[in-house]
Amino acid sequence: MVHQLFVYGKLRDKSIRCKITGRKIEPLKTGFLNGYALSSIQFDGEEYPIVFEDPKTTVAIEGEVIEVTPNELNLIDKYEGTNYRRIKVMLKDGSVVWVYTG
């Protein structure tokens, strides 16, 4: 079984994905997330992008959809830590994917 994950920040970097999962993961497609706003949070002295639900926003967030195994998804969960939570969302094209939000 594989999972589709919408990535919009540092996880768009293939080298970071490879470092976390141990393999090179190519994007399946570009995706657009409506109803969320892009912001940033700071922890460990660095700034990271994060999305928050905002039904009033009119700007779609652009990202990539990648396919990962359950084990890889668990590894990415650990990488994201407690500052993010993973939820299912529907992208503009109707596909249902996981995304990390605040």
Give pLDDT, residue 70.
Answer: 98
Which domains does the chain show, CATH number per domain? 3-101 (3.10.490.10)
Give pLDDT, residue 18.
Answer: 98
Distance of CA 43 to the CA centre of its chain: 18
- Neighbouring residues of 31: CB distance < 8 A, sequence distance ≥ 6: 6, 62, 63, 64, 65, 91, 92, 93, 95, 97
What global pTM score does this model have? 0.94
Site of tokens 């995706």: 31
Token pair of 91, please? 């992208």
User: Per-residue pLDDT tens for 40-70?
Assistant: 999 889 999 999 999 899 999 999 999 999 9
Angstrom distance (rounded) from CA 64 to CA 43? 24
